[in-house]
Structure 1
Amino acid sequence: MDQVLLLLVLVFAAGIAFDFINGFHDTANAIATVVATRVLSLRTAVLMAAGFNIIGALTGTAVAKTIGAGLV
């Protein structure tokens, strides 16, 4: 049971790390317009982008299915 928990923690940490790195590249482009036009504050825009990036990283499986199709 300890190995399953460790694997779960590692997968979760990898998802969070992916989201963090992905945010560096994509969040600036995604929030630039709403921040520049003052529709949202910088804090609100960053928090929304972070939240949706986390959801996408943890629920998106299309890429994993495509890459995994040739492995098994």
Structure 2
Amino acid sequence: MLPKMDGYKVCALLKADARYHKIPIIMFTARAQDTDKELGREAGADAYITKPFEAQALLGKMRELLKD
């Protein structure tokens, strides 16, 4: 947990800032509901991975996002 704001807000702030908007953001969370995933997409997340997870899935997503 983050103090004073959640990950969705942090993601939205980073994506709204011209200095950081091109940096890929992977939301990594235990929240697995469709509504949570939609909030991540709306905040600008490039990927949404829920716990528990497979390390290879995370590495694959990182490689995919960093190719561009």
TM-score by length of 2: 0.31
Relative to its length, the structure with more strand (as a share) is: 2
Flag the structure with higher helix content: 1
Give the TM-score, by structure 1 length.
Answer: 0.30
When Rg is computed on C-alpha atoms for both structures, the one with the higher figure is 1
